[in-house]
């Protein structure tokens, strides 16, 4: 299949444009997504093509954005809402958790909530405490929500198109440091299924399980470890809910060791669930305890050196892999 090279941001824009051209019920809503083109430039040019009725700039009210989108989804539209920074999901959590996530169940499946919420996540841009969070772990705990965190432009486009087609609420987390990364994607239209991970690197000695920016750092760590004849298998979960358990279990059955790497504070985050799952379902295949590597337990600092130490870096992943292999 012919390919082309695009940035992560361009891949997301392509997904939005293709789905909006295909279905007039798809529309965008959020702060500064129209004239400004989005805080990170993702929605540039879409207002000019689709107009103000389908690319809707809103007041600064995250609760209103989520509430309007969920209401529109309930009457047959397919809204894609943008919350400018994932830290602000706290302001619309009631709409997402108590309304959007529960309605299909509470109406016995008669109601559909085809609602996508896009939001930038993560540290590394010097945006400090209120604009650098990673709250994806919170929402994996809520039945009825799907949570996606792609690491590459190819995955971002294919998964976002599938999220828009889904009849359930999907939270779509985009790491800010990935927006300018480039990769080849198919020139033809394609979809990637939610709930399916991918092996980004084959290995035999240990499995690293990661998602979003930590996939890229794990791949860098794997290159370094390969120079010492340590072959690391890197799994990109892509979707946190639904979760591709089978892919993880098959990999650990082959390598017999595993590390889980993620950005949020280590305590109580999604990686803890991965460790528990592997210990419960792959215990007989393990030659060493599964370890997790998460962020420090503090708000993101403004100082760039402190911010870097907040979350796992390549050298931290190298060190924890060696620890497991000892």
Catalytic positions, written as ranges: 62, 131
Q: How many whole angstroms separate alpha carbon 76 and alpha carbon 230?
A: 52
- Rounded Cα–Cα distance for residues 121 and 98 (Å): 22
Residue whose C-alpha is closest to residue 44's, from 79, 6, 9: 9
Degrees to nearest 5, angle at CA 294 with 228 and 6: 75
Nearest CA to 66 among 40, 84, 26, 93?
A: 93
* Extended beta strands in 211-316, E state: 232-236, 239-241, 258-265, 291-295
Q: What tokens appear for 93 in the block?
A: 């959590």
Rounded CA separation 293/278 (Å): 15
Closest CA to 31 of 78, 92, 97, 96: 92
Name, in order, each residue with C-beta under 8 angstroms of 65's C-beta and a sequence gap of 6 or more. 29, 30, 31, 58, 81, 82, 83, 92
Which tokens go with 304? 């760039």
> Residue 21: exposed, middle, or buried by beta-carbon count in 10 A (0-12, 13-18, 19+)?
exposed
Tokens of 35: 């004239």
In the numeric block, the tokens 């030659």 are attached to: 287
């Amino acid at each position: 299949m012919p390919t082309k090279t695009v940035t992560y941001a361009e891949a997301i824009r392509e997904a939005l444009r293709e789905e909006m051209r295909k279905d007039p019920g798809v529309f965008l809503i959020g702060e500064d997504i129209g004239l400004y083109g989005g805080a990170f430039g993702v929605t540039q040019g879409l207002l000019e093509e689709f107009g103000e009725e389908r690319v809707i700039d809103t007041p600064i009210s995250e609760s209103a954005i989520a509430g309007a989108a969920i209401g529109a989804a309930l009457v047959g539209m397919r809204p894609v809402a943008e919350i400018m920074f994932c830290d602000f999901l706290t302001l619309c959590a009631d709409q997402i958790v108590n309304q959007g996530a529960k309605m299909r169940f509470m109406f016995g499946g008669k109601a559909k909530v085809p609602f996508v919420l896009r939001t930038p996540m993560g540290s590394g841009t010097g945006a400090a405490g209120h604009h650098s969070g990673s709250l994806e772990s919170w929402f994996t705990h809520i039945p009825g929500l799907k949570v996606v965190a792609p690491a590459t432009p190819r995955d971002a486009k294919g998964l976002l198109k599938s999220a828009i087609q889904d009849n359930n609420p999907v939270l779509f987390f985009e790491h800010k440091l990935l927006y300018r990364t480039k990769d080849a994607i198919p020139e033809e239209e394609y979809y990637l299924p939610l709930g399916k991970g991918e092996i980004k690197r084959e290995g035999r000695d240990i499995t690293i399980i990661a998602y979003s920016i930590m996939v890229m750092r794990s791949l860098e760590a794997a290159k370094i470890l390969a120079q010492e004849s340590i072959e690391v298998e890197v799994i990109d979960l892509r979707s946190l809910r639904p979760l591709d358990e089978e892919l993880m279990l098959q990999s650990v059955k082959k390598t017999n060791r595993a590390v889980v790497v993620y950005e949020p504070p280590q305590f109580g985050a999604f990686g803890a669930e991965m460790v528990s799952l592997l210990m419960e379902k792959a215990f007989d295949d393990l030659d060493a305890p599964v370890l997790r590597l998460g962020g420090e337990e503090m708000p993101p600092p403004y100082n760039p050196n402190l911010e870097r130490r907040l979350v796992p870096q390549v050298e931290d992943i190298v060190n924890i892999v060696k620890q497991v292999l000892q």
